[in-house]
Amino acid sequence: MDYEIVIGLEIHVELSTKSKIFCGCTTEFGGDINTHCCPVCTSMPGTLPVMNKKVVEYAAKAGLAMNCSVANFSKMDRKNYFYPDLPKAYQISQFDLPICKGGHVDIETDGGTKRIGITRIHMEEDAGKLLHDQWGKGTLVDYNRCGVPLIEIVSEPDMRSAREARDFAEKVRSILQYVGVSDCKMQEGSLRADVNLSVRPMGSNVLGTRTEMKNLNSFRSIYRAAESEAERQIKLIESGEAVVQETRRWDDDAGKSYSMRSKEEAHDYRYFPEPDLVPIEISDSLIDEYRKSLPEMPWERFERYTGELGIPEYDASLITASVKTADFFDKAVFSGADPKAASNWIMGDLMKLMKEIDTEDIPFDGEELAKLLKLIDSKKINNNIGKTVFAEMFRTGKAAGTIVSEKGLEVVSDEGLLDKVVEKVIEENPKSVADYLAGKDKAVGFLMGQVMKETKGKANPQIINGLIKDKLDAMKGM
Amino acid sequence: MMDIRKLTIKTAAMALRKKEISPVELIEKFYERIDVTDETIGAYISLEKEKALEQAAKASSMIDDGSSLLAGIPMAVKDNMCTEGTKTTCGSRILGNFIPPYTATAVSRLGEAGAVMLGKLNMDEFAMGGSTENSYYRKTRNPWNTKMVPGGSSGGSAAAVASGQAIFTLGSDTGGSIRQPAAFCGVVGLKPTYGTVSRYGLVAFASSLDQIGPVTKTVEDSAIVLNAIAGRDKRDSTSIDTGINDYTQGINESPVGMKACIPVQYLSEGVAPEVRSKVQKAIEYYESIGVRCEETSLELADYAIAAYYIISSAEASSNLARYDGIKYGYRSNDFNSLLDLYKNSRSEGFGDEVKRRIMLGTYALSSGYYDAYYKKALKVRTLIKQEFDKLFDEYDFIIGPTAPTTAYPIGEKEGNPLEMYLGDVFTVSVNIAGLPAISVPCGLDSAGLPVGMQLIGRAHGERTILRAAHAYEMGNPFPIAEEVSHGL
Amino acid sequence: MKISKETVLYVADLARLNLSDEESERLSDEMGRILGYMEKLNSLDTSNVKAMEHVEPVSNVLREDIVEESFERDLILSNAPDEQDGAFRVPKVVE
């Protein structure tokens, strides 16, 4: 029997506003326990929420970037439940009138482009964090994260494989970074996904019983969790058992999920409209303004890179995968760099350096790369030195020109000087000379390497190549 | 020798200005009075003598430059408004040791105007009740007859003013909690239009109904206090800019030509005969001074209590969920798990009436019942507001009794919650519709207990009802409670 | 109107309240009577009426995204029944 896997994702994203959604406390990550708090976000008696304007703007823009319609009228609601990380014992969220509805995001699959529907996007507040007491005597509660603004993006159950689920999540993340509403730093928890999954016989249009795995915070775990759960459900069904509707906890280290059945009475959240906040009305003209203010989306840039700029599709898709590399590339080209050259440097050197320290941040902008390339093109430094300089730029954030002059890395083109070095190297390496004279042209390479060594890599390769060949050829004639 | 029981804001301000008494002396006199009377009256939960004397000492410059009528005036605040550094209990065990690190906006504004806070006042627990008998801490007694309840939930606020323990107080009103105790204690109680006074720092009972308001001896004093506390507060999203700068404006204007109406439902058989007759006399007085009074009908009057109790209990059940023994407040000593901690702390910390309302409210919001109860009540709310709006197209204000009876004996209504709820019949619809209303004394019944008359105005129509109430007061001066010695 | 004992216990659990047998009987009775009284709302036709969530027709009360200084931790914890290392402490929560 062939089975179809049906997956929907709920993605929670922390918005990158400076202050929290209902009070002025900072949203900065980290910070000593309970030092980003005030009476409002710790729910002291008598306190009241006041809505942050930027949260509405960011939520609307995120929705527009995902092709949603933004509601002219929306409101906040209370979702009531008891848990220590929720100080008011209710979360202010949106129930029946969310800010955005009905959008889609396209992903690439083997079968071509696939459209994944977005059911809705709503605004809500994040809860605090529970920490485990090292003495094992209890659980500790930190409210710093309480009140950090979130949007929850709910997809239609349109994904049919673990890969599609992961690709969708990656695409959403990329879009949000492009729009600039979240840094999406998954290791800081600013993007988390819940995977809802069920299986059914291929061809059936009745949904199977689904399970939910919550708070996955890496693409790898989204993929593995989905894959594992699909397998688990299929195995159950094939052995005649039924899938239980439940929430499961995914343990990425163990590669397995566990039932959280003990938590499993269906919650009665008793949603009702938040009486302490007034409704949010967004006019059509404001929605238009938001739409116009959206930066160029990844697919738009892809078109431009492959079209206007003539970059291969593979390169373009790698560069547009992150808004930071795309912005970097655009700036470099704008500052005069050759698109193909810039693209090569980004895909090669830059991405390697970023991967080494596992960062998404680039400590300088594309204009600096353009300047570096100019130095190379004008032969002030050679390509290899260029790579060294680039790594130094990445490490220190200093400009190429500064590094070259500080370290004296200019290409040495002084023929007189080089002549002397070439003479020296030839003298010191009789074997190579002999090899060359015996017909091994490759020996030149070795000699060049030695000259480079002597000149600490700064020799102008064309010049020394010429000098070496001249001198050796002259010896031939002897 | 100054009889401080008779002092109003205006007369006290004058005495201070003329240096007939110093601010510190005035405060000390009030503490003496509290010493003598409060064991019987029981209006105060806590006193802040040291801070008050410090405040009084600082008031002199504001008194001298005349910049604020409230400078140096002794007042007290219902114990559900947060006061930084001073215990704020809401009349409950569950906040028995809670000391807020911040002050409610309305109270801060009084402080900025130079008023001096003597202490925090007793109340029904979390403002739920009509007699102040639901306080965890003590009973408050009616200064007119100490065997009787002072009304509630702002019983302490009303009793303190009536017995001369403070020149004015702040109370809060969700379904009548300022007006009804004002009526029972023979003082003036005003609930402003919803949104006029910031709720920031007022411990929430029912968010869409709660308002802070003044309890005073005279109508003009009420306007003076309202001036100090009203106005948009950026910390309260439901507080609005009313555009009104001075609530005393026009208070002395002649009432001739005003039009009042009396809904027949307000003078029905359910109202005690003596209450009815006193209110009718007041209506006759209005007619005699040129106010046109007509009978009308409020068909929905009967439905207001049901709608009120559903809405207020539902909101309260959510607002009180934060009392969990984790961040502040009472924590049970008896628990083995988180669930125990929640259940035991809340069950030991809350009184019966609070639990009853939490249960009602939780039920009304729960799955399957939301539409039938909460949503339905919100729709009835729309109808009630529309009915009032229609009346205000024609009339300037509505007259009726504040409560169907005068004060009753302490302990009489225990064990009968529904009956107690029905006593709110004239006040709750005002909160449902978000309108302003004022209760003024309009006589004493044959047992010597005060009768209160309520004037209801259109939204932001405080000046109209203040003007009408002031006109009544000028022809019918309000009596003050005799020296407390009876009923012991 | 009758509110069953199961319902009372379910609601009490939702509200995190313990009720003694006596209390749940009493509440079952009281809630029944009070909710029964509230049934009178059903005699009003509200089929074409909008629910009034706010009495004032105000919308868009929003604040600028500006950071304000947070409170000192000591003040945040000043009323905590139990704390450790700057955090509020509760009995062990099993995930």
Q: How far apart are CA B80 and CA A45, in angstroms?
A: 9
Q: Encode pLDDT of A276-312 as tens digits.
A: 999 999 999 999 999 999 999 999 999 999 999 999 9
B296 pLDDT higher than 50 = yes
> Closest Cα to residue A211, out of A244, A172, A238?
A244
Average pLDDT over residues A248-259: 92
Q: How far apart are CA B331 and CA B344, in angstroms?
A: 8
Other beta carbons within 10 angstroms of residue B466's beta carbon come to 26
What is the structure's pLDDT at B284?
98
B248 pLDDT higher than 60 = yes
Topology adopted by domain C5-43: Histone, subunit A (1.10.20)
Task: Measure A66 CA to nearest chain B CA, in Å.
Answer: 31
Does residue B177 carry a catalytic annotation?
A: yes
Q: How far apart are CA B417 and CA B410, in angstroms?
A: 14
Average pLDDT over residues A396-403: 88
Three-class SS state of B453 = strand
**Torsion sign across C-alpha atoms A253, A254, A255, A260:** negative
| DSSP type of residue B175 | S
> Closest Cα to residue B67, out of B15, B7, B20, B13?
B13
Rg, Å, chain C Cα set: 23
A473 pLDDT higher than 90 = no
Average pLDDT over residues B341-363: 97
Q: How far apart are CA B261 and CA B295, in angstroms?
A: 6
A162 pLDDT higher than 80 = yes
B328 chain-A contacts, CB cut-off 8 A: 44-45
Where are the alpha helices (H) located in A15-80, listed in sequence order? 53-65
A143 pLDDT higher than 60 = yes
Other beta carbons within 10 angstroms of residue B371's beta carbon come to 10
Residue A471 in tokens: 């001198």
A228, A230, A235, A241: CA torsion to nearest 10 = 120
- CB-based contact (8 Å) between A278 and chain B? yes
Helix (H) or strand (E) holding B340: helix B338-349
Q: How far apart are CA B476 and CA B434, in angstroms?
A: 29
Q: Encode pLDDT of B35-46 as tens digits.
A: 999 999 999 999
Rg, Å, chain B Cα set: 21
Tell me which residues of chain B, numbers 122 to 181, contact chain C at a CB-CB cutoff of 8 Å: none
Residue A271 in tokens: 């949603």
| DSSP type of residue A206 | S
Average pLDDT over residues B101-130: 98
Residue for token digits 């555009």?
A: B243
- Phi then psi for residue B305, to 5 deg, are -65, -45
In this prediction, what percent of chain A has a pLDDT beyond 90? 70
Contact criterion met (CB below 8 Å) for B316 and B126:
yes
Q: Encode pLDDT of C52-68 as tens digits.
A: 999 988 999 999 999 99
Q: Encode pLDDT of A444-456 as tens digits.
A: 888 888 888 888 8
Q: How far apart are CA A398 and CA A392, in angstroms?
A: 8
Q: What is the CATH number of domain B1-488?
A: 3.90.1300.10
ipTM for the complex? 0.96
Residue type, A181: V
B383 chain-C contacts, CB cut-off 8 A: 44, 46, 49
Q: For an interface test with C, which of B313, B333, B379, B428 has the most C Cβ atoms less than 10 Å from its Cβ?
A: B379
Average pLDDT over residues C10-15: 96
Distances (CA, A) of B324 to A86, A89, A240: 11, 9, 45
Contact criterion met (CB below 8 Å) for B68 and B114:
yes
Q: For an interface test with B, which of C25, C31, C38, C39 has the most B Cβ atoms less than 10 Å from its Cβ?
A: C38
What is the structure's pLDDT at B41?
97
Distances (CA, A) of B85 to B97, B102, B258, B289, C79: 11, 8, 47, 50, 11
Rg, Å, chain A Cα set: 30
Q: How far apart are CA C78 and CA A125, in angstroms?
A: 24
Task: Measure A147 CA to nearest chain B CA, in Å.
Answer: 15
Q: Encode pLDDT of A343-356 as tens digits.
A: 999 999 999 999 99
B485 pLDDT higher than 50 = no
Distances (CA, A) of A257 to A206, A213, A272: 25, 8, 34
Q: Do A272 and B328 touch (CB under 8 A)?
A: no
Task: Measure B29 CA to nearest chain A CA, in Å.
Answer: 32
Tell me which residues of chain B, numbers 366 to 405, contact chain C at a CB-CB cutoff of 8 Å: 366, 373, 375-383, 385
Beta partners for residue A153, in sequence order: A11, A121
Q: Residue A187, class by beta-carbon neighbours within 10 Å (0-12 exposed, 13-18 middle, 19+ buried)? A: exposed
Residue type, A40: V
Q: How confident is the model at residue A461 (pLDDT cuts 50, 70, 90)?
A: confident
A263 pLDDT higher than 90 = no
Q: How far apart are CA B462 and CA B45, in angstroms?
A: 31
Higher-scoring residue by pLDDT: A51, A263? A51
Residue type, B39: E
C30 chain-B contacts, CB cut-off 8 A: 356, 417-418
Residue B234 in tokens: 């950026």
Q: How far apart are CA A474 and CA A451, in angstroms?
A: 19
The residue from B68, B131, B153, B198 that is catalytic is B153
> Closest Cα to residue B75, out of B150, B8, B144, B143?
B8
Q: How far apart are CA B261 and CA B392, in angstroms?
A: 9
What is the structure's pLDDT at A265?
59
**Torsion sign across C-alpha atoms B337, B342, B343, B347:** positive
> Closest Cα to residue B454, out of B271, B212, B180?
B180
Q: How many CA atoms lie within 13 A of A94 on its CB side?
A: 26
What is the structure's pLDDT at B396?
98
Residue B484 in tokens: 């407390």
Q: Residue B1, class by beta-carbon neighbours within 10 Å (0-12 exposed, 13-18 middle, 19+ buried)? A: exposed
What is the structure's pLDDT at A477?
67
Q: How far apart are CA B288 and CA B259, in angstroms?
A: 13
The pTM (predicted TM-score) of the whole model is 0.92
B393 pLDDT higher than 70 = yes
Q: Encode pLDDT of B431-449 as tens digits.
A: 999 999 999 999 999 999 9
What is the structure's pLDDT at B488?
33
Where are the alpha helices (H) located in B8-103, listed in sequence order? 9-17, 23-41, 49-58, 60-64
Task: Measure A32 CA to nearest chain C CA, in Å.
Answer: 8
Distances (CA, A) of B71 to B4, B74, B115, B469, C63: 16, 9, 5, 25, 33
Q: How confident is the model at residue B420 (pLDDT cuts 50, 70, 90)?
A: confident
Mean pLDDT of chain B: 95
Q: Residue C93, class by beta-carbon neighbours within 10 Å (0-12 exposed, 13-18 middle, 19+ buried)? A: middle
Complete domains list, chain A, with CATH: 3-284 (no CATH), 296-407 (no CATH), 415-476 (1.10.10.410)
Burial A209-227 (b: 16+ CB within 10 A, else e): ebbbbbebbbbebbbbbbb
Residue for token digits 């107690």?
A: B420
Beta partners for residue B293, in sequence order: B260
What is the structure's pLDDT at B486?
43
A386 pLDDT higher than 60 = yes
Q: How far apart are CA B388 and CA B429, in angstroms?
A: 9
Q: Any idea where the domains of chain B sit in the sequence?
A: 1-488
Does residue B153 carry a catalytic annotation?
A: yes
C51 pLDDT higher than 70 = yes
Q: How confident is the model at residue A401 (pLDDT cuts 50, 70, 90)?
A: confident
What is the structure's pLDDT at C95?
63
> Closest Cα to residue B325, out of A22, A82, A48?
A82
Beta strand pairing call for A73-74 and A77-80: unpaired
Q: Report the length, in residues, of chain C.
A: 95
